[in-house]
Structure formats: C-alpha cells, structure tokens
Structure 1
C-alpha cells in the first residue's frame, strides 16, 4: 500500500503537458547518507538517475532496474520494472488514479475523491526560498546559493541549493520534475512559485530532513547535461512487457 501511495503522488509530474520542452539529457548522482529511525538502521545509498526531456514527454531511468515514462500527449505515466519485464499505467490525475485503485477494490468515484483529498491534507507543504547572496563554483559551473525550507506534517527539510544560469533548460517544468514526489500535495503550486525564485538549474543540492526524530542527509549532484535527441523508442513501452496493476509493482 505504501508503494502504491508513492506512485499515486507521482502522477502529477507531467501536469504541465501543454508546455514545450527542448530535448535535454541530464545525469544526476543521488546519495543518501546512512541513518536510523525508530530503531531501524538504514544503509547509505547511491543512485544514478538519467532523465530525458522532449516536448511533452519525459523518461527517468533509475539504475538499470526501473524507469518512469511520462506521456503528456496521453495524460498517463508508465512505471517500468525491467527485472520483471512488466509495466503499470497510472493516470496523471490523482482522482482518476484513486478511482482505478478503488475500482479494483469495489470502491467508487466519491470514495476515490475523498481519498485523494485526505492524502493531500496529510502531506501539505509549506515552503520558502531565500537568496543567500553567496556564490560558488561547482563542477566548473558558476552558481548562486539559495536556501529552501520545507515544512510538512511528516517533518521539515532544509536544503542548500547551488544553481547556475549557464545551463539552458526550460524552467517552466524543471522544478516540477525535481519535486515530482511531492506533486499533487496541497501547497505544491505554492512550492513551485517559491522555486521560481531560484535562478537557473540546480547543480548541487544538499538537504537535511528531520523525520520522526531522525536526521536524513541527502545530496544531488548534476554530473552532465547535454542538448541531444533521446534514443528511438525512449517514450514507448518496450516490446514484450506485460501490463500489471500498479499496486502490484
């Protein structure tokens, strides 16, 4: 159920489907330091995430085991499990996603809407961005330093963001992609407005989140950006993949 909720939260990632993107490739290293919460130790993790942007379509590859394909033209998102050679189709409307899930469980549209509203209230975001006035050089990019504070019922996060205007990426969707896991939550639109105060693309973000008494430190570093056409078939479901209910993935 927890995994299903995470997938539902992601369905708003391409809510800007009417926008026009240039073809971009971004390679990002994501690192989580080890931490302990409620007596459970979590090991450090490191992952390379590759993202392709093209028009109203996007694809994110997390390692070699999973991918997310976003199709603004169809208003759907596909979750790919490469190990199982399977995929799940999720509507980009939270209510529709909940209707699909509740339908499988004998629920109805009204219940789905109530569930969507409850989820949004439980994960409401309050965010603020401050320009520190400081500058840095990160991987040869000239950056300005910003501080982002986010408050949520589950905990608070403080991030130092080093952003550069040397990289040409459509900022109208860039921040929504970077905060995909929060899309659909109450306060998300206000978060995006705050993020617009950050001039340029984040090349290094260091975050400290306080959750249930634990401090979780994460780091995202842009390793590479290119203007290039995505490989053929990047936004299509691979041949031979079997459709599954997204709650089962």
Structure 2
C-alpha cells in the first residue's frame, strides 16, 4: 500500500510538471476537471479547480486549491504544501535516491520486493499520433493529437489539442527536460524516446482529456488553457505557506 501511494504521488507530480514544461518561461492559468473516483478504498467526488503555473529557468511553481508544488533545480528538491493538512513535505528530485532511501529502512526481504516493484514502475513508454482533425478553441487554431503513456501502474491516454499560435520557448523547454531526467520513475531510462515522441506535439496544449487505467480503476479528467503570458514571476510564487508543519517524506 505504501509503495503504491509513493509511486502515485511521484507520478502525479511528474505529469503536472511535464505539462507545465510545454509552456516555457511563462505563466499559465488552466481550468481542470477531475471525475469522481475511488482509489485504495477512498471515494473522492468530482471537482473543478484552477491550476496556476509559474516557470523560470531555475524554478517551477504549480498551485491549485489543495496544494502547492515548488521545484528548485539548483537544490534538486521538490516541495509540496498540502493546504488541507497544513503540512509541507520535501523530497529529492532524483527518483533513484528516493527509492534508495525507502529501501534502506526495510528488511532484506522487503527491500528486494520493493526494488522489484519499482523496477516494474520504471517501465515507461510514450507514443504520440498526430491526427488530421483541426478546430478553433477559444482564440487558438488547434490540431488534435493522441498520446498514450504506459507505466507499470497502468495506461494514461490523452486527447490533446495543441496550437502553434502561441510563441513558446523551445530552448528553455529542452533545458527543463534535461534537468528533470532523474526526477520521474522510468523517465530517465527512456528519456530519449520519450522526448522524441513528445516533440511530435507541435505548439502548446490548449485543451486535453485524459483517461487513466490504474489499479483496476478508470479515472477521467480534462484541462483547458485559460491564460498564457510571458513575464517575471513574483517571489511569492515560490514561497511555501507560513505556519505549516514540516513532515518527513
């Protein structure tokens, strides 16, 4: 159970960061919808919320109504503030280091089981297919892509509508991908192929629908771009909330 929670936490952070990186040095505001679902015996109702992302050459901040995630590349640290629990948890960016820390506190038998489990989790593949479908979403002319990501926990299928009407910083995007190589389970080992596939998506994501098959559950969500702008991020965007309790990862 703990292993699965660990993986899901890292995976959700990873996908949030990857989607943000598509936008370069800028601010984005997105509307996200998540259908109701039951995970590990806990039922969560459907919800709609706003996600605000600030991206700079050194740091990334992603915030919604429930949490705030700050990634500091120079320190190789990811910090997550839980607004409901009023806690802050920090962890290394390097996924291998996290796995080593987890296994070091286990018995030899549990450590081997954990390593085998994580080995399966690191089997990640991505495929992107461009379609001939086009339509205008808001003010942007978009093209439809189908992206499928297979992981040891399940399949993530996305219908993505992207536009080339927005000028994004591809050079900075490449820098971020390079810095994130060791962060995500399975990404480092398959980074070359993953980048090759994701480059097929031309431009910036405007709207997407995701279907996730994980642990016998089907989860659906959608993301819509509301605002995009270039500009210097305020210092407050990367500050953790005051008064929250620091907890161990």
TM-score by length of 1: 0.76
Is 1:30–1:49's contact at 8 Å kept on the other side of the alignment?
Answer: yes
Unpaired stretches in structure 2, ≥5 consecutive residues? none
Equivalent-residue separation in structure 2 for 1:10 and 1:36 (angstroms): 16
Question: By how many angstroms is 1:91 displaced?
Answer: 0.6
Which residue number in structure 2 is paired with residue 81 of structure 1? 82
Is 1:95–1:116's contact at 8 Å kept on the other side of the alignment?
Answer: no
The answer to whether structure 1 residue 47 and structure 2 residue 49 are counterparts is yes
Is 1:88–1:244's contact at 8 Å kept on the other side of the alignment?
Answer: yes
Question: 1:3 pairs with 2, 5, 9, which one?
Answer: 5
Change in CA separation of 1:14 and 1:99 when aligned onto 2, cut-off 3 Å: farther
Question: By how many angstroms is 1:54 displaced?
Answer: 0.9
Equivalent-residue separation in structure 2 for 1:175 and 1:37 (angstroms): 31
CA-based RMSD: 3.8
Which residue number in structure 2 is paired with residue 97 of structure 1? 98
Is 2:121–2:185's contact at 8 Å kept on the other side of the alignment?
Answer: no
Which residue number in structure 1 is paired with residue 155 of structure 2? 156
Equivalent-residue separation in structure 2 for 1:40 and 1:80 (angstroms): 21
Unpaired stretches in structure 1, ≥5 consecutive residues? none
Is 2:120–2:152's contact at 8 Å kept on the other side of the alignment?
Answer: no
SS of residue in 2 equivalent to 1:95: helix
Is 1:119–1:185's contact at 8 Å kept on the other side of the alignment?
Answer: no
Which has the higher mean CA deviation after the structures are superposed, 116-125 or 70-79?
Answer: 116-125
Which residue number in structure 2 is paired with residue 217 of structure 1? 220
Equivalent-residue separation in structure 2 for 1:76 and 1:38 (angstroms): 28
Question: By how many angstroms is 1:158 displaced?
Answer: 3.0
